A and B are shown apart, each in its own frame.
Chain A
Amino acid sequence: MNAPRSLRDRQAIQAMPVIAMGLVVMLLGVLLWLLHRNEVEEERRALIQDILWVEQNLYFHLSSGVERLGQLAEMAGRDGPWSDEFVLQGKALVTAAPEIERVIVRDGIGAVVQSLPPVESGAALGGDSEWANTFALSRSSGRPVYGPPYTVEGKGARFEAQVPIFRGGRFAGTVAGVFSLDAMLANRVPWWFAQAYRLEIQDGNGTLLAAKSQLSPAEPGASYTLRFEPPGHGLELVAISYHSDPQLLRNVLAAAIFILSILSVSSLWALRRHVRRRLAAEQALRTEHSFRKAMEDSLTVGMRARDLEGRITYVNPAFCHMVGWTADELVGTVPPMLYWVPEDLEHTYELHRAVMRGEAPAEGFELVFRRKNGERFSALIYEAPLIDSDGRHTGWMASVLDITERKRAEELSRQHQEKLQHTARLITMGEMASTLAHELNQPLSAIASYATGCLNRLSAGDARPEELVPPLTKLGAQAQRAGQIIRRIHDFVRKSEPLVVPCLLDEIIEGVVGFLEPDARKRGIRIDLDLSLTPGAARPRVEADHILIEQVILNLVRNAMEAMGHTPRPQRRLTISLQCADGQARIRVADRGTGIPPEIAANLFSPFFTTKETGMGMGLNICRSIVEAHRGHLWFEENPGGGSVFLFTLPEMAG
């Protein structure tokens, strides 16, 4: 009943490593993912820090550039834009700040009055074509103003920063610095930044104005956008991190873990398959074992194995049940065995030695064993050599059958058969007698009636002879009919002529007693046999029809038993004795019944006389006829101890 449970347990045990493996793989995956996410975060943080730093840097340079322009504007206000000092300072500024391409000075109405470096004739100034707005703003606010970005063909994007010039407190134009975005990026963004990121400047519409590292990354990584203030006007700084190299080590690790996991899972699976196969094999073995055990235990045949020394190595339950000792008590014992019969030890030893020599009869042999409770039983034993798996002879296997029952059954069946025969004989005799009586009754009654009728007529004195003729004729016919019946009986009797052979009287008596024993037991009658058989002396033999004599004894014994129906139980004793004297064998059947009253005694042997309710009155009559046919006599006497004795003699055979 624990099979399902153990099966569940086994399944759980089998599943656990797989689950653990799965968990490990999953956790590793989670770990890797967390690491990866950290890295991404880290990268992003670095990107933001870096771009902020770059933006600060650019801002600082722009501010310092504008500050310098402010100094120039002051100078222009003080000395005019043509002074040597201004030109010198202006040139120095353009040289020092690489992002400032040129310095342009416009007067109060916006006309260009100075440009540093100077412009060759015919070359473009490169200023903002939309400068007027910035100029106006600068004039009205009186502060430096950044102009919108614009693109110069072939030169990239730029913007102007205009700083107002005041002369004597009045607006006198602007000093404008033309800033090149490209140059600014090229010079003001450090190399390490350029290595890690591509930096772009876009206007509000997302149009690329300038970029450091013109290579657009093959696989853009994370990017971050920042407003570029000043100069403003919707400019944005965009940093795109190059896709960092895949981290080889980490990937190798992950791959290794992955491969290992797969390997472990597959090995686990293989292991599990192996275990399954083993379990199946074990289960098959168990099934086989229990099947064999069940077979062994259900055998009604006792099995006993012995080694070459005769030591018991195995007994099955049937054998234990048969002899009454347990397997533990029997296994390991050596001859003489517990179940051997002490009084027959020699014979048993002989057989045992014959078996050990390998001379056990193939058709088995019978032996009497004893049970633990001392009971004896007949065993039928077959011995066969035990051969082990290497083909060596290791001992003997015996199958032991308890044939007591079988023998008893055979005995019973034999007795039953005999009883049937007896009954059949009795029925035949009884039927014959009954038929005889009835058949003869009819014609005899008719004869008597005719005769009496005729006598009546004659005694009346007025009878005419002719009236007596028909009844007398009919009387004759009835006499004929009776004669025919008698003849039929003769034929019947002739068919079963007595078969006279020498027979032993004591055997016949014992047979009858054996037959009536159960009946006697039922009636509580004890039968005493006194066959006075002296050892050595010849048993009395007579020439007789065995069956008929048996019938006589059977009849007498049965009568005796019935006669004791009213005798108190303890006194119900029936004695049958056999004696020989003067060449006559005398059989005596004595009962302790009620005896025979004299008025009955006279009729006892007459036919159709019976004292029994169901009797036919043929028994004793026929008995006497049989005994007399054997040249013997049948008579009865009173039993001195109460009851009656029936005796008959038969001439003994000479010699």
Chain B
Amino acid sequence: MSKGVVYIVDDDEAIRDALGWLFQSRGVTAQCFASAEDFLSVWSVPCSGCLVLDIRMDGMTGLELFDRLCEMGAKLPVIFLTGHGDVPMAVSALKKGARDFVEKPFNDNDLVDKVIEALAWEAERVASAADAASLAQRLESLTLRERQVMDKVLAGKLNKVIADDLGITMRTVEVHRAHLFEKMGVKTAVELAQILSQRR
């Protein structure tokens, strides 16, 4: 059972109700909204989850809502529900970064599978975003000297050479090195290189 919320935005009540029931039958929590405006009034960027969005609605259309979310910098995956003849629109949405689209009437478990997959991806995205954020924080906490020492370490230089380069004693280099390893939460230079390469 994956954790995560699916937001369903569709102006047809029967479809909202039916999809709610369907996701519930697969153990996915669903929140339904009758319009794009309703959704925007409760949702904010930090909320994670997967958005299932009807492309054609009265008032603000699904595409408009999607554009709005892009402007707000939302990263959550969006899956469009399209009617007949809306495929070109859906394709243009994909180009703008929507995750997928499903044509009505759909093979329903297919939709659920896609949502579950998207939620898993979303969870990973949130986690890695958190990792990146903490790595950035750790790098921030380094002093200038520690930073210089770290660059030399990553370049594969020995403590002696580093000491000569920076015009300090070897003992001081060792102290800096111990400090920065501690701050970056690593035991070895190899580990340090690994976490930094992920970030790139």
Bound pair: A and B?
Answer: yes
Assess whether B43 is interfacial by the CB under 8 Å rule.
no
Cα of A454 to Cα of B21 in the assembled complex, Å: 8
Is A474 touching B18 in the complex (CB atoms < 8 A)? yes
Is A437 touching B84 in the complex (CB atoms < 8 A)? yes
Q: Mark A111-135, 1 if CB is under 8 A from B, else 0.
A: 0000000000000000000000000
Assess whether A438 is interfacial by the CB under 8 Å rule.
yes
Is A481 touching B22 in the complex (CB atoms < 8 A)? no
Task: Give which listed residue, B19, B21, B85, B112, contacts A616 with CB less than 8 A.
Answer: B85
Known: A448-B105, A452-B109. A437 touches B18 (CB 8 A): no
Nearest CB of chain B from residue A159's CB, rounded to whole Å: 152
Assess whether A443 is interfacial by the CB under 8 Å rule.
yes
Is A442 touching B14 in the complex (CB atoms < 8 A)? yes
Across the two chains, which residue of chain B brings its CB closest to A443?
B14
Cα of A453 to Cα of B22 in the assembled complex, Å: 4
Assess whether A446 is interfacial by the CB under 8 Å rule.
yes
Task: Give which listed residue, A434, A453, A457, A617, contacts B18 with CB less than 8 A.
Answer: A453
Assess whether A290 is interfacial by the CB under 8 Å rule.
no
Nearest CB of chain B from residue A461's CB, rounded to whole Å: 12
Known: A452-B22, A453-B108, A456-B109. A613 touches B88 (CB 8 A): yes
Assess whether B15 is interfacial by the CB under 8 Å rule.
yes
Cα of A608 to Cα of B14 in the assembled complex, Å: 23
Assess whether A162 is interfacial by the CB under 8 Å rule.
no
Nearest CB of chain A from residue B116's CB, rounded to whole Å: 12
| Max count, chain B CB within 10 A of own CB: residue among A442, A474, A477 | A442
Across the two chains, which residue of chain B brings its CB closest to A460?
B25
Which residues of chain B are near A460, meaning CB under 8 Å? 25
Which residues of chain A are near B21, meaning CB under 8 Å? 449-450, 453, 471
Nearest CB of chain B from residue A603's CB, rounded to whole Å: 15
Which residues of chain A are near B56, meaning CB under 8 Å? 438
Is B83 touching A449 in the complex (CB atoms < 8 A)? no
Assess whether B151 is interfacial by the CB under 8 Å rule.
no
Is B18 touching A441 in the complex (CB atoms < 8 A)? no
Which residues of chain A are near B14, meaning CB under 8 Å? 442-443, 446, 474, 477-478, 481
Assess whether A444 is interfacial by the CB under 8 Å rule.
yes
Assess whether B24 is interfacial by the CB under 8 Å rule.
yes
Known: A471-B18, A478-B14. A448 touches B106 (CB 8 A): yes
Cα of A446 to Cα of B24 in the assembled complex, Å: 15
Across the two chains, which residue of chain B brings its CB closest to A608?
B84
Across the two chains, which residue of chain A brings its CB closest to B14?
A446
Within A424-448, which residues are at the interface with B (CB < 8 Å)? 434, 437-438, 441-448
Is B12 touching A446 in the complex (CB atoms < 8 A)? yes
Cα of A456 to Cα of B112 in the assembled complex, Å: 11
Is A452 touching B108 in the complex (CB atoms < 8 A)? yes
Assess whether B104 is interfacial by the CB under 8 Å rule.
yes
Within A490-526, which residues are at the interface with B (CB < 8 Å)? none
Nearest CB of chain A from residue B113's CB, rounded to whole Å: 11
Across the two chains, which residue of chain A brings its CB closest to B102?
A445
Cα of A434 to Cα of B19 in the assembled complex, Å: 24
Nearest CB of chain B from residue A464's CB, rounded to whole Å: 13
Which residues of chain A are near B24, meaning CB under 8 Å? 453
Which residues of chain B are near A617, meaning CB under 8 Å? 84
Which residues of chain A are near B25, meaning CB under 8 Å? 452-454, 456-457, 460
Cα of A583 to Cα of B106 in the assembled complex, Å: 46
Cα of A315 to Cα of B6 in the assembled complex, Å: 88
Q: Mark A459-487, 1 if CB is under 8 A from B, else 0.
A: 01000000000010011011001000000
Is B106 touching A474 in the complex (CB atoms < 8 A)? no
Nearest CB of chain A from residue B83's CB, rounded to whole Å: 5
Which residues of chain A are near B18, meaning CB under 8 Å? 445-450, 453, 471, 474-475, 478
| Max count, chain B CB within 10 A of own CB: residue among A446, A457, A474 | A446
Known: A454-B25, A456-B25. A449 touches B84 (CB 8 A): no
Which residues of chain B are near A477, meaning CB under 8 Å? 14
Across the two chains, which residue of chain A brings its CB closest to B26?
A456
Assess whether B67 is interfacial by the CB under 8 Å rule.
no
Q: Mark B11-35, 1 if CB is under 8 A from A, else 0.
A: 0101101110110111000000000
| Max count, chain B CB within 10 A of own CB: residue among A441, A447, A477, A613 | A441
Nearest CB of chain A from residue B152's CB, rounded to whole Å: 58
Cα of A552 to Cα of B25 in the assembled complex, Å: 47
Across the two chains, which residue of chain B brings its CB closest to A474?
B17
Which residues of chain B are near A608, meaning CB under 8 Å? 84
Across the two chains, which residue of chain A brings its CB closest to B108?
A452
Cα of A614 to Cα of B89 in the assembled complex, Å: 11
Nearest CB of chain A from residue B25's CB, rounded to whole Å: 4
Cα of A487 to Cα of B84 in the assembled complex, Å: 20
Across the two chains, which residue of chain B brings its CB closest to A459?
B25
Task: Give which listed residue, A441, A446, A613, A614, contacts B83 with CB less than 8 A.
Answer: A441
Nearest CB of chain B from residue A50's CB, rounded to whole Å: 138
Task: Give which listed residue, A449, A452, A475, A613, contacts B15 with CB less than 8 A.
Answer: A449
Is A437 touching B12 in the complex (CB atoms < 8 A)? no
Q: Mark B39-51, 1 if CB is under 8 A from A, else 0.
A: 0000000000000
Is A441 touching B17 in the complex (CB atoms < 8 A)? no
Nearest CB of chain A from residue B41's CB, rounded to whole Å: 25
Across the two chains, which residue of chain B brings its CB closest to A450?
B18
Cα of A136 to Cα of B19 in the assembled complex, Å: 182
Is A444 touching B105 in the complex (CB atoms < 8 A)? yes
14 contacts between A and B (CB under 8 A): A434-B84, A437-B83, A437-B84, A444-B105, A445-B18, A449-B18, A449-B21, A450-B21, A454-B25, A456-B22, A456-B26, A478-B14, A481-B14, A616-B85
- List 20 other contacts, CB 8 Å, given A441-B105, A449-B21, A453-B22: A441-B83, A441-B84, A441-B104, A443-B14, A444-B105, A445-B81, A447-B18, A448-B107, A449-B15, A451-B108, A452-B25, A452-B112, A453-B24, A456-B22, A456-B26, A457-B25, A460-B25, A478-B14, A614-B88, A616-B84
Binding site for B on A (CB under 8 A): 434, 437-438, 441-454, 456-457, 460, 471, 474-475, 477-478, 481, 608, 613-614, 616-617
